[in-house]
Amino acid sequence: MSSFLSQQVLVLNRLWQAVNVCTVRRALNLLFQGQAQVVMSATDGSLQTFNFWEWRDFSQQQPHPESIQTVSFKIRIPQVILLLLFDRLPKKEVKFTRHNIFERDKNTCQYCGEQFDRRDLNLDHVIPRDRGGPTSWENVVCSCVECNTRKANRSPQEAGLRLIRKPKRPRWRPFVQINLELPCHDSWKHFLDLAYWNVELGEDTG
């Protein structure tokens, strides 16, 4: 049951745009509070919405293995919810966080151009800090351990390294390409037609 509760649910805003993912636990909470409805495709492809009570009834009428047993009833775990009462409107400014720098640089070392696991990437001050290089969008990039070691406390030129692109403040909202490592339900695909979804960066979705 606890593994069900931590599964991912796609969150749509009032315009039916995919804006986030949350856990089943949070989705059920929002549903129960009347802040969200469950979205499900009917067999004919049309979309149906269910409030908490409707969803609870539906869960009894069509039992499904992916259900959660509460004290008095079973409830099926939702895969997509629609927010009713508020929009998760994007923050205007992209926050300057480690996470967003990784997003901007697409987990790619900005010197050798190779993509890495996040844990194998450092943040590098292009102009070293002790030479007055600021900690800013324009002066901080992802770099792999090897490039970072090679660069040491020098400018890229001195180290014989070149940035693959000039770092700058992202103008976009931090839309994130679908992380294919995340299990993605078929039911999400309908809403992911932009192929992008927004994660509130800087905080974990789990």
Which spans of this chain sit near Zn ion (rule: CB under 5 A)? 109, 111-112, 144, 147
Give min distance, CB of 163 to Zn ion, in A: 11
Give min distance, CB of 140 to Zn ion, in A: 15
Q: Which is nearer to Zn ion, 94 or 109 (CB)?
A: 109
Cα 24 to Cα 46: distance, rounded to the nearest angstrom = 23
The residues with which 144 forms a beta bridge, in sequence order, are: 121
Q: Which is nearer to Zn ion, 159 or 176 (CB)?
A: 159
**Amino acid present at 123:** L
Give min distance, CB of 144 to Zn ion, in A: 3
The residues with which 176 forms a beta bridge, in sequence order, are: 197
DSSP state of 111: T
Q: Which two tokens stand for residue 75?
A: 């409830």
174 neighbors 94 (Cβ within 8 angstroms): yes
Give min distance, CB of 201 to Zn ion, in A: 23
Query: Which residue in 33, 2, 8 sits closest to 187, CA to CA?
Result: 8
Give min distance, CB of 116 to Zn ion, in A: 8
Q: Which is nearer to Zn ion, 68 or 163 (CB)?
A: 163
Q: Which is nearer to Zn ion, 76 or 125 (CB)?
A: 125
DSSP per position, 22-47? EEHHHHHHHHHTTSEEEEEE-TTS-E
Torsions phi, psi for 25 (to 5 deg): -55, -50
Q: Which is nearer to Zn ion, 80 or 142 (CB)?
A: 142
> What is the helix (H) or strand (E) element at residue 68, kind and residue range?
strand 67-69
